[in-house]
Chains A and B, each alone.
Chain A
Amino acid sequence: MDPYALKTLNAERRARRAAILVTDLGDGRDRIVREGDQVAGDLGAAIAKAFRSGNSGSVEAEGRTFFLNAHLPQPRLVVIGAVHISQALAPMAKIAGYPLEIIDPRTAFATPDRFPDVALHAEWPEDVLKRQPLDSYTALAAVTHDPKIDDFALKAALDANCFYVGALGSRKTHAKRVERLLALGASADQIARIHAPIGLDIGAASPAEIAVAVLAQVVHAFRSRGLDAKGVAA
């Protein structure tokens, strides 16, 4: 392995950016491809697929055998609101491989009793997200119903190009939210990325069922996420 390739790969991994180490198994030469880099032909198609799935594997292209080692950042799920839905969502998300954090400044809600074994921040999203910025491998679900708590986080998630942004609330509630987010400076294109009402439309009624619908939507967003160069630094 080329030492420079290893250093580059580790730098990308530390920065939570996706990268693939492409090794020619014939002559051992390797290089790093970052998400958003253009690679032509069969090799490029295989690389795009590996970025989407996160699966590593060998591929035949240009009469050679390449090994693609895909390094995707661990996806995170940030939930704004220590509510009933979050209580059901926390263990489900953990099982599915999306470690979850909960942010809610209301200390009556955000208690370790209600959320055992969950990373819990009883603080305003403004404060937590300053320390732990959102990124394109983070999903954000805002479920407090309270604009004072949700709005800032939603705007931050859109600006950070989170792979998923969802917000609880009826269509009517969402229409008002759209007005507020526009006032905060969000663009119409950004706002169109918000999943609201939150969750896949599976007729979910109970908090636990809504959690299933949200998690399914997060997984779908992750596995089908766009591979354009948005948010990818050179």
Chain B
Amino acid sequence: MSDNIYLDEARDPLIIAEGWMKDGKDVAIATVVETWGSAPRPVGSHLVIDADGNFHGSVSGGCVEGAVVTEAIDVIDTGKAKMLEFGVADEAAWQVGLSCGGRIKVYVERLG
């Protein structure tokens, strides 16, 4: 069988998250649930984060990953899911932002 010829297990965030879980790590999963304008990553994209701040995947192509990782560690600690929203940085509300001018909503939840 060669079922996985189109599934890159070494880089797939959800496969990595499962592996981390098996290793006994605490894991958070961030998912792009909505985009407006020119968002860098499509709805459904994942970033997976462990309690030490290691991460795989992407929700924005690098613009807001740092902030998502910080929030994810908090989500792992509290177990409470969060909905984050990011837009262009200079539109006041967001400390970090998307240089491309779009807006994204990211759902961050703990695995388990």
Contact = CB atoms under 8 A, between A and B. Distances in A.
Contact of B112 (A2, A13, A58): A2
Would you call the interface of chain B mostly helix, strand, loop, or mixed?
Answer: mixed
A69 interface: yes
A1 interface: yes
B21 A58 contact: no
Contacts of A67: 31, 33, 107
B3 A16 contact: yes
Interface residues of A, number: 28
A111 interface: no
Contacts of B33: 25, 58, 67
B2 A132 contact: yes
A6 B14 contact: yes
Contacts of B17: 6
Contacts of B29: 1, 6
B18 interface: yes
Nearest to A50: B44
A14 B12 CA distance: 11
Interface string A9-31: 11001111000000101001000
A14 B107 contact: no
Given A13-B14, A58-B34, A131 B7 contact: no
Interface stretch (A70-78, A102-110, A200-208): A70-78
B81 A14 contact: no
Contact of B6 (A23, A69, A74): A74
B1 A133 contact: yes
A73 B21 CA distance: 24
A208 B103 CA distance: 41
A73 B112 contact: no
Contacts of A131: 2
A2 B29 CA distance: 11
B6 A14 contact: no
B111 interface: yes
B33 to A, nearest CB: 5
Which 6 residue pairs of A and B lie closest in terms of their CB atoms, listed nearest first? A56-B44, A74-B6, A3-B112, A28-B81, A56-B43, A69-B44
10 contacts: A3-B21, A3-B112, A6-B29, A13-B12, A23-B109, A25-B33, A55-B43, A56-B42, A67-B33, A74-B6
